[in-house]
Amino acid sequence: MTEFDNFKEDLNKTFPCRQSQINLLLSLFGQRHQYTYASLFIYGHTGTGKTAVTTYILNHLKLPHVLVNCVECYSSRFLYEMILNSLHVNSVTESSDLVKCDNMNDFVRMFKQVSEEKGIDKETIYIVLDKAERLREMEMNILPAFLRLQELTQQNVCVLLLSEIVWEKFRTGSGYCEPFVLHFSDYTNGKYNNQLIEIMMLDHPTEYDENFYRLYLNLVLSVFQMVCRNLKELHHLARLNFQRYAEPVKTGEATAEDTRKLWKNIEPHLKKALQTVYLREVSSSQWEKMQQSIEAGQPPALQGLSSRSHVELPYYSKFLLIAAYLASYNPAKTDKRFFAKHAGKMSKQSKLLKKHERASNHMLGPKPFALDRMMAIFYSVIEGRVAPTANIFMQISSLVSLNLLGHVASDDQIDSPKYKCLVSLDFIKSVSRTVNFEVMRRHLYLNCDI
Amino acid sequence: STASEVTPHIPGRSRPLMSPSSVLEEARARLHVSAVPDSLPCREKEFEDIFSFVESKILDGTGGCMYISGVPGTGKTATVHEVIRALNKAYEDGELSQFKYISINGMRLTEPRQAYVQILKQLTGQKATPDHAADLLNKKFTTPGPRKETIVMLADELDLLWTRKQDVMYNLFDWPSQRHARLVVLAVANTMDLPERIMMKRVASRIGLTRMTFQPYTFKQLQEIVVSRMKGLKAFDSDAIQLAARKVAAVSGDARRALDICRRSTEIAENRSPSKKTNILVGMSHVDAALQEMFSSPKIVTIRGLSNQEKLFLRAIVAEFTRSGLEEAEFSRIYTQHISLCRFEGLTPPTTSQLASICSRLGSIRLLLVEHGRHDLQMRVRLNISQDDILFALKKKQMFDE
Residues of chain A falling short of pLDDT 50: 355-356, 358, 448-450
Interface contact flag, B356 A173, Cβ < 8 Å: no
- Residues A131/A163, Cβ–Cβ less than 8 Å: yes
Interface A-B: count of C-beta contacts within 8 A: 31
Q: Identify whether residues A7 and A144 lie together within a single domain.
A: yes
Q: Which of A172, A174, A178 has its CB closest to that of B373? A: A172
Domain check: are A60 and A205 in the same one?
Answer: no
Q: Distance from B351 to chain A by nearest Cα, in Å?
A: 12
Give B69 or A446, the one with higher predicted confidence.
B69
What's the confidence (pLDDT) of residue B3?
A: 57
Shared domain check, A222 and A165:
no
Contact B151, B100 (CB under 8 A): yes
Domain end: A148, A183, A218, which one?
A: A183
In a domain, A71, yes or no: yes
Please report whether residue A34 resides in a domain.
yes
Q: Is residue A445 part of a domain?
A: no
pLDDT tens column, A98-110 = 888 889 999 999 9
In this prediction the pTM is 0.82
Q: Do A172 and B357 touch (CB under 8 A)?
A: no
DSSP β-bridge partners for residue B155: B104, B187
Whether residue A306 is contained in a domain is answered as: no
- Beta-bridged to residue B306, according to DSSP, are none
Same domain, A169 and A27: yes
Any domain includes A51: yes
Contact between A208 and A262 (Cβ < 8 Å): no
pLDDT band at B24 (very low <50, low <70, confident <90, very high): confident
**CA neighbor of B187 nearest in space, from B204, B207, B164, B201:** B207
CA distance A144 to chain B (A): 13
8-state DSSP, B236: B
Residue A15 lies in a domain: yes
Distance (Å, whole) CA B98 – CA B137: 20
Specify if A189 maps to a domain. no
Examine the fold and report which residue of A299, A325, A346 is the final residue of a domain before the chain moves on: A299
Residue B137 has pLDDT above 70, yes or no: yes
Residue after which a domain boundary falls, among A183, A211, A245: A183
- The ipTM estimated for the assembled molecules is 0.81
Report pLDDT for A270.
87
Q: How far is B353 from chain A (nearest CA, A)?
A: 7
- Long-range pairs for A393-399 at CB < 8 Å and ≥24 separation? A395/A314, A395/A316, A395/A317, A395/A320, A396/A320, A396/A371, A398/A317, A399/A317, A399/A320, A399/A321, A399/A324
| Residue in A170, A174, A178 nearest the CB of B373 | A170
Cβ–Cβ below 8 Å for B373 and A175: no
Instruction: Name the closest residue on chain B to residue A174, using Cα atoms.
Output: B364
Query: Are residue A326 and residue A400 in the same domain, yes or no?
Result: yes
pLDDT of res. B4: 55
Contact criterion met (CB < 8 Å) for B364 and A136: no
SS3 B156: strand
Query: Do A168 and A135 fall into the same domain?
Result: yes
| Residue A394, domain extent | 315-435
- Give the per-residue pLDDT at B399: 47
Closest residue on chain A to B376 (Cα): A169
In a shared domain, residues A260 and A346: no
Pairing of strands A125-130, B99-105: unpaired
Mutation site for B-interface testing, chosen from A135, A166, A172 by largest number of B Cβ within 10 Å: A172
Domain count, chain A: 3
Report the alpha-carbon distance of residue A48 to residue B153 in Å, rounded.
71
A166/A258 same-domain check: no
Identify all chain A residues contacting B364, using CB atoms and an 8 Å cutoff.
173-175
Q: What is the DSSP letter of B97?
A: -
Contact state of B373 with A169 under an 8 Å Cβ cutoff: yes
pLDDT, one tens digit per residue, over B37-52 is 888 999 999 999 999 9
Residue A293 to residues A201, A246, A284, A285: CA-CA distances in angstroms?
28, 16, 14, 13
Compare CB distances from A175 to B352, B353, B360 and report the shortest one's residue. Answer: B360
Q: Are residues A25 and A155 in the same domain?
A: yes
Chain B positions touching A173 (Cβ under 8 A) are 364
Using a CB-CB distance cutoff of 8 angstroms, which residues of chain B are in contact with residue A170?
Answer: 373
* A172 → closest Cβ in B357, B361, B372: B372
- Between the alpha carbon of residue B30 and those of residues B25, B97, B228, the distances in Å are 9, 35, 10
pLDDT at position A178 = 92
A394: which residues sit within 8 A by CB, 6+ positions away?
none
Q: Once rounded to an integer, what is the mean pLDDT over residues B96-106?
A: 93
A168/B361 touch (CB, cutoff 8 Å), yes or no: no
Cβ separation A169–B360 shorter than 8 A: no
- The pLDDT mean for chain B works out to 90
What is the chain A residue with the closest CA to B352? A168
Which positions in chain B have a beta carbon within 8 angstroms of at least one beta carbon in chain A?
Answer: 352-353, 356-357, 360-361, 363-365, 372-374, 376
Nearest CA in chain A to B371: A172
Residue A402's alpha-carbon distances to A304, A354, A410, in angstroms, are 21, 34, 20
Specify burial of residue B131 (Cβ count, 10 A radius: 0-12, 13-18, 19+): exposed
Q: Return the axis-axis angle of helices B284-295 and B255-272, rounded to nearest 10°.
A: 120
- The answer to whether position A35 is within a domain reads yes
Q: For residue A169, which residues of chain B lie inside 8 Å, CB to CB?
A: 373-374, 376
The percentage of chain B sitting over the pLDDT mark of 70, rounded to a whole number, equals 96
Beta bridge partners, B381, equal B329, B370
Q: Which of A168, A170, A174, A176 to mutate to test the interface with B (most CBs of B within 10 A)?
A: A168
Residue whose C-alpha is closest to residue B156's, from B109, B213, B204, B205: B109
B contacts of A178 (beta carbons < 8 Å): 357
Q: Which of A114, A133, A131, A126 is nearest to A55 (CA)?
A: A126
Residue type, B34: S
Helices (H), B194-307: 194-198, 201-207, 219-229, 238-251, 255-272, 284-295, 298-304
Predicted local distance difference test score (pLDDT) of residue A449: 40
Q: Least CB-CB distance to B376: which of A169, A174, A178?
A: A169
Q: Does residue B85 carry a pLDDT above 80?
A: yes
Pair (A158, A209) in one structural domain: no
Contacts of B356 in chain A (CB under 8 A): 168, 171
The residue among B310, B361, B364, B367 with the most chain A CBs within 10 A of its CB, best to mutate, is: B364
Residues A338 and A290 in one domain: no
Q: Are residues A64 and A176 in the same domain?
A: yes
